[in-house]
Amino acid sequence: MSAAVTNVPHHGAADPAALPIIPWPSAVEPLDGPGPSLADVRVEAPDAGLAALAVEQLAGAGVRVHDGAPVGVTLRLDPAAGPVGSDSPERYTLRVSADGVVATAPERVGLLHAVRTLRQLVPVGRASAGEAEAPAVVPAVVVHDAPRYSWRGLSVDVVRHFFGPEDLRTVVDLVGALKLRVLHLHLTDDQGWRIQIPSRPALTERSSATQVGGGGGGYLTVEEFRDLQDYAAERFVTIVPEIDQPGHVNAATHAYGELMPDGEPTAVYEGIEVGFSRLWFDNPATEPFLRDVLGDVARMTRGQYVHVGGDEVLTMEPAEYARFVELACRVVREAGKTPVLWQEGARGPVEPGTVLQYWEPKGEPDPFIAAARAGARFVMSPGNRAYLDMKYTPEHALGLEWAGFVELRDSYDWEPEQVIPGLPAESVEGVSGAVWTETLATRDDLFSMLLPRLGAVAEVAWSDARRKDWESFRARVAAQAPTWRAAGWEFHPTPQVDWP
């Protein structure tokens, strides 16, 4: 065995062209000798559910899995697995040798991460024109791995254009493949209401059939939302629903006119402007509405978090806004969940454990530093790095440009602990990409904006800054292109990568 390769992902036998792993692991130890052929394998796992997930991953890479196969892929729970010194519940060790594959981890999620890494090592598209497919030989290597942050996510807007259960399951698959753990769904806005609320049926009856540009729309039923969460949870992805308020509420005020001071419903809105809609705290209809909606959503949510929005409220006095933040967070906590808000929530009362999602890198840092002192946790989604609906370049056909143009390297070369000057590093809970869908109407539109940039965000969230290397990353991105094509995942062929 050669010496461990740590912090230098492009060194020696662990060259990224041979090990196209995204995000890059904590430590890689190349082994002497050849690796196994994974054309045919058998899987041994602690339980049937994990075995099925392993089969799903390997079959997606073209590996045949059956009980009589000559090569074993063994998944085993082991509290000693992972990098030395790591206490992450997601840590794992993957050993690939001529004798077979052994993955160890203290928890099931780590074992699935190990299988995801193994899948990335399997060459896809191994046949040349007119030739039989070559054996799926993978390198002999030991990987010790653990994430930097526990919150590693993607925020998806399903309001401006609606993406239904099938599309969202595919997004879960992508999120999981990159070892992200959170899928945050922006479910309500001015253009539509995308989740059924049992206590307020008019929200979907009157406000779900519209979207940007007109036509289409849709919503998730209670059963569809439950099934999506189940699908995600099986793959160790947590769904975080967002009910945006006290702004971005035209769909709500269209359904329930009593939320307006004059009692009249607002008109349908199918544009992309922001900041014009709002609730009124002293309106007698407001608090019952928030309690009904947030209470129902909390009861429908499997995970720990409910996002209560709070962004771009442009026509409300600070004192009234703070009362909204206090009420929304109180309702969520009373329902047993942890509230998440956009960064503007720092202007309201902040209790320990509240999560603030930072998106617009401008203004003074003092409110955020004060919120951190009060116990807030921060998820970093800076628009000029992690907003994946920004155009790649000025001539790109899709996307917006209010935060600038965000190419692949822009999404890679940033440090979460430096986004807010003076914020204590220990207050950073994690990192999330975000994609807004004003200009994205199809799954191919969506994926072409996510890939390859979501891989860059995933590496920022997972890998220690000392292990990041742009030249290594762009080579590993190129090596993943056949896998994305095989999965049917559209991606943008940025000129920053030398594509195969």
53 exposed, middle or buried (CB, 10 Å; 0-12, 13-18, 19+)? buried
Q: What is the CA radius of gyration of the chain?
A: 23
Answer yes or no: 312 catalytic.
Answer: yes
Please report the sign of the dihedral spanned by the C-alpha atoms of residue 230, residue 231, residue 236, residue 242: negative
Alpha helices (runs of H) in 304-373, residue ranges in sequence order: 318-334, 366-373
CA distance 73 to 66: 11
Q: Taking the alpha carbons of 103, 483, 394, 432 in that order, is the dihedral positive or negative?
A: negative
Helix/strand number for the chain, H first, E second: 14, 15
Other C-beta atoms lying within 10 Å of the C-beta of residue 358: 22
CB 224 within 8 A of CB 317: no
**What is the Cα–Cα distance from 141 to 102, expressed in whole angstroms?**
11
SS3 state at 30: strand
Q: Are 359 and 387 in contact (CB under 8 A)?
A: yes
Residue 89 identity (one-letter amino acid): P
Spatial distance between the Cα atoms of 1 and 141, rounded to a whole number of angstroms: 9
Instruction: Return d(Cα 206, Cα 277) in angstroms, integer.
Output: 17
Non-local (6+) Cβ contacts of 488 within 8 A are: none
Measure the CA angle with vertex 194, ends 193 and 196; round to 5°: 95
Q: Give the phi and the psi of residue 282 in degrees, each rounded to 5.
A: -80, -5
Rounded CA gap, 248 and 275, in Å? 7
C-alpha atoms less than 13 angstroms from C-alpha of 404 in its C-beta half-sphere: 11
Look-up of token digits 């049937």: 48
Three-state DSSP state, 9: coil
Give every CB contact of residue 37 below 8 A, 6+ residues apart in sequence.
71, 135, 136, 137, 138
Annotated active-site residue in 312, 320, 326, 417: 312
Under a CB-based contact definition with an 8 Å cutoff, are residues 16 and 472 in contact? yes
Report the C-alpha gap between 82 and 105 in whole angstroms.
7
Nearest to 158 by CA among 101, 242, 79, 273: 242
Strand partners, 400: 390
Supply the residues annotated as catalytic. 312
